[in-house]
Amino acid sequence: MGTSKTGSFEMVADRITIDPEICHGKPCIRGLRYPVELILELLSAEMTIDEILADYDDLERNDILAALAFAARLTQVQRMQATMV
């Protein structure tokens, strides 16, 4: 059940929205008040997709997959440069 790069781009375009009026313009799931970063934090806290779906009734499996695809696209950079903070 793989998703092609084109398929994942379409999923992201359909499911991830950026609206300055919702969550201060952070990327969110389908215009709902669920920022992509929340989904990523839940997954990194070892919640499964099924657990997230059980806790958030208005989310769908493809919303979570779109959040992951969106995050993956953000990491596709040409070059990273270390900076001193």
pLDDT in tens, 10-67: 778 899 999 999 999 999 999 999 999 999 999 999 999 999 999 999 999 999 999 9
Residue 15 lies in a domain: no
pTM: 0.78
Domains contained in the chain, number: 1
CB 8 within 8 A of CB 21: no
Q: Does residue 58 belong to any structural domain of this protein? A: yes
Question: What would the DSSP string read from start to end of 1-29?
Answer: ----HHHHHHHHHHHEE--TTSGGG--EE
Pairwise CA distance, residues 78 & 24, whole Å:
28
Unique residue bearing structure tokens 């779906």:
53
End-to-end CA distance of the chain: 43
The domain of 31 spans: 20-74
* Confidence label for 70 from pLDDT (cuts 50, 70 and 90): very high
CATH number for the domain harbouring residue 47? 1.10.10.10
Dihedral of the alpha carbons of 58, 13, 34, 20, in degrees to the nearest 10:
-130
**Residue 24 covered by a domain:** yes
Domain presence at residue 56:
yes
Tell me whether residue 55 is in a domain: yes
Residue 12 belongs to some domain of the structure: no
